Structures are given as structure tokens and as C-alpha cells.
């Protein structure tokens, strides 16, 4: 048994700790959630048929956010038992709440400030200095310089991280309440500093099951290669996908790469939807749109 097979056996032992009728797999069509889908529907079938039959009771549930790459949406439709939809569409969310821009945490702070909150801790974050001493705030819990300047001088557009809340979290929460099931999430602790501190075990306080919390890039890439797991073409160009063109990938240069992978209609919609944030972040979407002409 090599290291990859050992990992799969260890993953199996994690799943044995749950009652399948109490859970559903939150399936985005992305690399991590599809790995869990493959494990439940293919690997178990070939390696433990009795467990496979029992764990068919885990429902595969996707959420159509209206913002998926076509490959990912097709994958979702083909593999899910249920595909949920948000009650609000992206443009409705933008009009009512604002657009994503810098990061979920920074956008949340900006959103609160733009809506009139002036609590001392928030004022410290916005100004980047401690109220009592005037000392500069160090570390990650502060706005970047572009965000800080735009908030203080009032030039920023209406900003909010609520896209994810309405397009993903609320439909999932409604399903969980109606089905009385908890989510199995394909999140990994090593994906970011915040997730590294959040995910240190398979079982979260809210009851959700995160069996991939300790999975490394090397291991998942090795399993995909060894077992020839289907990989959408989009992943040959960018490492991760979410909502098409989301500004949250801009710091890695993913947004401009992603825009070039979209068809013309998708690109026009995404650039119109995120244009204010793209302007602030310096994403040259106009140049990319001109490439279509």
C-alpha cells in the first residue's frame, strides 16, 4: 500500500465515524468537492461495496449561483441529486448590498462602515491606528492602503461580501433546516492562513464534517493522477474556481486569466457586474473586452 492508498483508507476511517443519513455532500463541482464525490461514488464502490451501498444515503447537493463556469455547472447537474438556487440573483444582490472587492473580511468591515457603524473597534480598523494610543495596527487585521484611502475619502463604491451569503450560504442553510442534514465540506486547512486556524479537525462546532482538513496539494494531485479522476479544462488554466471573475482571486492574477476563459456573453456580464471593483483593483477588463472586437 503506497501513501496515496493509505490516505484513502484513512479517509474511509473518518467517514465511518458519521451516520450517512445525517449528512449531505456540499458539491460545488470544484476539485476538492469532486474528490469527495469520487471517493463516495467510485472508490468505495470498487473497494468496499457494502459501505458504498450504505453511504449512498449521503445526498449530493449543489448550488447554482448563476456564476459558475459552464464546465462546472454541467458537472454539478450531472452529479448532484439536488441543485439548489438562490432566491436573489447576482444583480439584485449588487443593487441592494454592494459588490465584493478586496477580501471577505475587509469588505465586511467596509460594508459596516459605509452603512454608518462607528464602533471604536471598527474605526480603529478603518484608520489603521489604535484609538487610545495612535499606534499603527500591525498584522492582517487592517485594511490595505487602497481600501483605507477609498473608505476615508468616500470614493469607494458600495462594497459588500454578501454575494457568497445570498448565493451560497442561505440556500444551504435552508436545505439543512428542511432536511435536518449537516454538510460535508471539501475544505482544506492549508488553503489559507484563516482556514489553517479554523479547520484543525474533521468535526466542526456547527456539526459540519470536514474530512479533508489535513489534505495536502501533493496528495490530492497524486490521487487525481493515479486514479485518472476527471479534471475540467478550466483547471488546466487556473488552480481554483468559484464565481466567474470574482475579484477575490485578483491578488494572484487569477481574475484576468479567468476572464479570458469565458465566452463573450459571460465576459460581458461579469465585467459589467464587477466593473467598479475591477477599476479599484486595477484589473484591465476593458483591454480584455476589446480583444473580442
pLDDT tens digits for 6-39?
Answer: 999 999 999 999 999 999 999 999 899 999 999 9
The overall average pLDDT reported for the chain is 90
Q: Which residue has the cell 445525517?
A: 22
How would residue 251 be classed by pLDDT, with cut points 50, 70 and 90? low
How would residue 120 be classed by pLDDT, with cut points 50, 70 and 90? very high
| Separation between Cα atoms, residue 6 and residue 202, nearest integer Å | 17
| Helix (H) or strand (E) run with residue 85 in it | strand 82-85
| pLDDT surpassing 50 at residue 73 | yes
| Separation between Cα atoms, residue 202 and residue 244, nearest integer Å | 29
For residue 121, give every residue at least 6 positions away whose Cβ sits within 8 Å of its Cβ, in sequence order, or none: none
The pLDDT assigned to 192 comes to: 47
| Separation between Cα atoms, residue 224 and residue 228, nearest integer Å | 6
The pLDDT assigned to 286 comes to: 92
The pLDDT assigned to 266 comes to: 92
pLDDT tens digits for 212-244?
Answer: 988 999 999 999 999 999 888 887 777 777 789
C-beta neighbour count of 143 within 10 angstroms: 24
The pLDDT assigned to 198 comes to: 64
How would residue 249 be classed by pLDDT, with cut points 50, 70 and 90? confident
Return phi, psi of residue 60, to 5°.
Answer: -100, 115
Q: How far apart are the first and last CA of the chain?
A: 55
pLDDT tens digits for 265-288?
Answer: 999 999 999 999 999 999 999 998
CB of 249 closer than 8 Å to CB of 228: no
Amino acid at each position: 500500500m503506497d501513501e496515496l492508498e493509505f490516505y484513502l483508507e484513512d479517509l474511509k476511517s473518518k467517514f465511518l465515524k458519521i451516520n450517512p443519513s445525517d449528512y449531505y455532500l456540499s458539491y460545488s463541482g470544484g476539485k476538492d468537492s469532486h474528490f469527495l464525490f469520487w471517493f463516495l461514488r467510485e472508490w468505495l464502490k470498487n473497494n468496499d461495496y457494502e459501505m458504498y451501498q450504505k453511504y449512498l444515503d449521503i445526498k449530493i447537493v449543489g448550488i447554482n449561483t448563476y456564476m459558475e463556469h459552464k464546465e462546472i455547472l454541467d458537472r454539478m447537474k450531472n452529479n448532484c441529486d439536488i441543485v439548489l438556487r438562490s432566491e436573489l440573483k447576482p444583480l439584485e444582490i449588487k443593487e441592494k448590498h454592494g459588490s465584493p472587492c478586496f477580501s471577505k473580511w475587509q469588505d465586511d468591515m467596509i460594508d459596516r462602515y459605509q452603512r454608518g457603524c462607528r464602533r471604536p473597534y471598527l474605526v480603529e480598523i478603518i484608520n489603521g491606528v489604535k484609538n487610545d494610543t495612535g499606534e499603527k495596527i500591525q498584522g492582517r487585521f487592517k485594511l490595505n492602503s487602497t481600501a483605507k484611502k477609498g473608505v476615508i475619502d468616500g470614493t469607494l463604491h458600495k462594497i459588500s461580501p454578501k454575494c457568497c451569503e445570498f448565493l451560497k450560504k442561505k440556500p444551504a442553510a435552508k436545505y439543512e433546516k428542511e432536511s435536518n442534514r449537516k454538510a460535508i465540506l471539501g475544505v482544506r486547512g492549508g488553503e489559507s492562513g484563516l482556514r489553517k486556524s479554523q479547520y484543525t479537525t474533521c468535526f466542526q462546532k456547527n456539526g459540519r464534517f470536514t474530512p479533508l482538513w489535513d489534505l495536502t496539494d501533493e496528495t490530492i494531485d497524486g490521487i487525481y493522477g493515479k486514479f485518472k479522476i476527471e479534471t475540467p479544462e478550466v483547471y488546466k488554466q487556473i488552480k481554483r474556481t468559484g464565481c466567474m471573475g470574482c475579484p477575490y482571486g485578483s491578488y494572484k492574477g487569477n481574475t484576468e486569466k479567468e476572464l479570458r476563459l469565458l465566452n463573450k456573453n459571460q465576459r460581458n456580464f461579469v465585467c459589467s457586474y464587477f466593473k467598479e471593483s475591477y477599476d479599484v483593483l486595477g484589473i484591465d477588463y476593458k483591454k480584455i473586452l476589446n480583444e473580442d472586437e
